């Protein structure tokens, strides 16, 4: 399930950086998700219980302020293996969806094998080098190019998406040490 896997990745990824208390973990996930997002306790704590039951994390009680105990959350070796599995083999939906791929990218350095990290980046680059999907279609069903879009806001959306796609592809080629213009596949055109 997409939501579970993405939440698992965020939880295990942050815990792989070091043990955290639940409120700090929640704050970091919300920061990663961006402004205006909220991760409820009703989502986080059942996920922590599920991951604990799977053996991927442990929670330990610590003394807290005013006599209240706090629970420290820590990744287990099995949890680290699960994190590596998620990072090593993101599904096609994760690779094609920019917000989901950015979550993978946020934790990709946690994958210890540089060849495996590069393979994930190569898979994403291959997607970006394929023809861009069309946001809108003409009455006859053919893809509408951004410059043909009469609505200025949709035209702007297509331009922004195209620029983002080109910039990401350039960064991936640079990171992978690939040439600026790959000969095997043309750079993806601006979304239409």
Q: Does pLDDT of 169 surpass 80?
A: yes
The Cα–Cα gap between 36 and 2 comes to 21
* Whether residue 125 is found in the same domain as residue 164: yes
Q: Does pLDDT of 2 surpass 70?
A: no
Q: Give pLDDT, residue 115.
A: 95
Tell whether 191 is covered by a domain.
no
Average pLDDT, the chain: 88
* Whether residue 67 is found in the same domain as residue 125: no
Q: Does pLDDT of 146 surpass 90?
A: no
Q: What number is the average pLDDT over the span 148-175?
A: 92
pLDDT tier for residue 189 given thresholds of 50, 70 and 90? very low
* Whether residue 124 is found in the same domain as residue 60: no
Tell whether 33 is covered by a domain.
yes
* Whether residue 68 is found in the same domain as residue 127: no
Q: What number is the average pLDDT over the span 164-192?
A: 70
Tell whether 101 is covered by a domain.
no
What sign for the dihedral angle of Cα 170, 29, 13, 1? negative
* Whether residue 60 is found in the same domain as residue 118: no
Q: Is 185 within 8 Å of 130 (Cβ atoms)?
A: yes
* Whether residue 56 is found in the same domain as residue 119: no
The CATH number given to whatever domain includes residue 9 is 1.10.10.10
Q: Domain span at residue 34?
A: 2-82
Q: Is 17 within 8 Å of 65 (Cβ atoms)?
A: no
Query: Maximum CA pair distance of the chain?
Result: 70
Q: Over the stretch 89-127, which tens digit does the pLDDT of each residue have?
A: 999 999 999 999 999 999 999 999 999 999 999 999 999
pLDDT tier for residue 190 given thresholds of 50, 70 and 90? very low
Tell whether 119 is covered by a domain.
yes
Q: Give pLDDT, residue 129.
A: 92
Q: Give pLDDT, residue 180.
A: 53
User: In the chain, what are the helix, strand and coil shares in percent, each to the nearest 5?
Assistant: 60, 10, 30
Q: Is 33 within 8 Å of 107 (Cβ atoms)?
A: no
Q: Does pLDDT of 172 surpass 80?
A: yes
Number of domains in the chain: 2
Half-sphere exposure of 164 (CA within 13 A, CB side): 12
Q: Does pLDDT of 86 surpass 50?
A: yes
Q: How many CB atoms lie within 10 A of CB 148?
A: 13
Q: Over the stretch 24-64, which tens digit does the pLDDT of each residue have?
A: 999 999 999 988 889 898 999 999 999 999 999 999 988 77
Q: What number is the average pLDDT over the span 62-73?
A: 81
């Amino acid at each position: 399930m997409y939501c579970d896997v993405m939440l698992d990745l965020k939880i295990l990824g942050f815990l792989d950086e070091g043990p955290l208390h639940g409120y700090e973990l929640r704050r970091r996930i919300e920061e990663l998700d961006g402004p205006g997002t909220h991760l409820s306790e009703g989502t986080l704590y059942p996920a922590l219980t599920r991951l604990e039951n799977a053996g991927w994390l442990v929670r330990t009680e610590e003394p807290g302020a005013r006599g209240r105990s706090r629970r420290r959350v820590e990744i287990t070796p099995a949890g680290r293996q699960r994190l590596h599995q998620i990072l090593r083999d993101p599904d096609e939906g994760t690779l094609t969806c920019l917000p989901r791929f950015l979550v993978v990218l946020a934790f990709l350095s946690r994958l210890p094998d540089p060849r495996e990290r590069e393979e994930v980046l190569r898979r994403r680059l291959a997607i970006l080098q394929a023809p861009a999907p069309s946001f809108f279609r003409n009455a006859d069903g053919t893809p509408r190019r951004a410059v043909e879009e009469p609505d200025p806001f949709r035209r702007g959306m297509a331009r922004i998406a195209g620029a983002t796609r080109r910039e990401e592809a350039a960064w991936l080629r640079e990171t992978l040490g690939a040439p600026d213009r790959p000969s095997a596949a043309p750079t993806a055109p601006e979304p239409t």
